[in-house]
Amino acid sequence: MPVWTPPRWIEVYAEQAAMFREAVGRADLGADVPSCPGWTFTELTVHAGRFLAQVTRYLTSGSVVQLRPRPAQPPADPLAFLDEELAAAAEVLAATPGNRPVWTFSPAAPDLAWVWHRRAAHELNLRRWDAQAALRTLVPTDREQSADALDELLGTLLAARLLLDSPPTTAGSAIVSCADGPERWFVRLVPGEVPQVRLAARDEQADAHLNGRTANLLYQLWNRMQLTGTGEASVLRALRMS
């Protein structure tokens, strides 16, 4: 798998942010976003802005402990709010070295700033996908970008769910393999423990298997597309992010 660095994540962030802003700018903010049940474009826009505000807050504060959430006030102008946060995040991401110590959100991730660089890039890609899918203007996601996003989802975001009030309780193993690339991950889930995630051997077996084109796997595990795996269905569902 190619090695990604903060400059590459910043490049992806800029590209995805521009496409996301273009999509929400041409949408009816009161229209539904089908991939995010219960959300309109207003909720999608505000969610992205608040996420970016969180990224900026951690990278500018350099806090090595989790910060208390700020009260969430509905912005008077969602698009103006988004523009402000997109610009602030771009500036801070570019100015922050990837090896700067800072609290991150997963017990499987180091407390280093590059974790936020990576999260910002892939979160903006996901929200761009949500917006474009709703508008029927979907742009395909780059394969290498999808592979890195999958690696983040399996290796970082699954473990972050341990911090939820009701963490997952499913046990089992799965192999996720890309049909259009060399990546194969082995994932073992044990309730209450950080998932074991590593490269899978070619003939390795597991309780469940998920195979497909890299971008399709990414959006299946983000609950944007139907799961097409085989084996233990509960294990496959446990890999999905809600």
The model carries a pTM of 0.96
Q: Based on the domain organization, do 51 and 123 belong to the same domain? A: yes
CATH number at residue 56: 1.20.120
Q: Based on the domain organization, do 161 and 102 belong to the same domain? A: no
Q: Based on the domain organization, do 48 and 87 belong to the same domain? A: yes
Exposed/middle/buried for residue 55 (C-beta within 10 Å: 0-12, 13-18, 19+):
buried
Q: Based on the domain organization, do 151 and 112 belong to the same domain? A: no
* 197 residue type, one letter: V
Residue 221 placed within a domain = yes
Which among 104, 217, 202, 206 is positioned nearest to 154, based on CA atoms? 217
Q: Based on the domain organization, do 102 and 150 belong to the same domain? A: no
Residue 45 placed within a domain = yes
Contacts (Cβ under 8 Å, ≥6 apart) of 165: none
Residue 229 placed within a domain = yes
Number of neighbouring beta carbons within 10 Å of residue 114: 20
CA dihedral (179, 185, 190, 192) positive or negative = negative
Tally of domains in the chain: 2
Q: Based on the domain organization, do 126 and 165 belong to the same domain? A: no
Q: Based on the domain organization, do 104 and 162 belong to the same domain? A: no
Q: Based on the domain organization, do 131 and 157 belong to the same domain? A: no
User: Cβ distance 120 to 102 under 8 Å?
Assistant: no
Q: Based on the domain organization, do 187 and 85 belong to the same domain? A: no
Residue 177 placed within a domain = yes
User: Cβ distance 148 to 37 under 8 Å?
Assistant: no
Q: Based on the domain organization, do 230 and 151 belong to the same domain? A: yes
Number of neighbouring beta carbons within 10 Å of residue 51: 17
Residues in the chain predicted with pLDDT less than 70, given as ranges, are: 1-2
Place of tokens 């500018």: 60
39 lies in which domain range? Answer: 6-135
CATH number at residue 211: 3.30.1050.10
Residue 215 placed within a domain = yes
Q: Based on the domain organization, do 119 and 152 belong to the same domain? A: no
* Per-residue pLDDT, 1: 60
Domain stop point among 135, 165, 181: 135
Residue 1 placed within a domain = no
Domain stop point among 70, 103, 135: 135
Q: Based on the domain organization, do 95 and 61 belong to the same domain? A: yes
Domain stop point among 135, 168, 193: 135
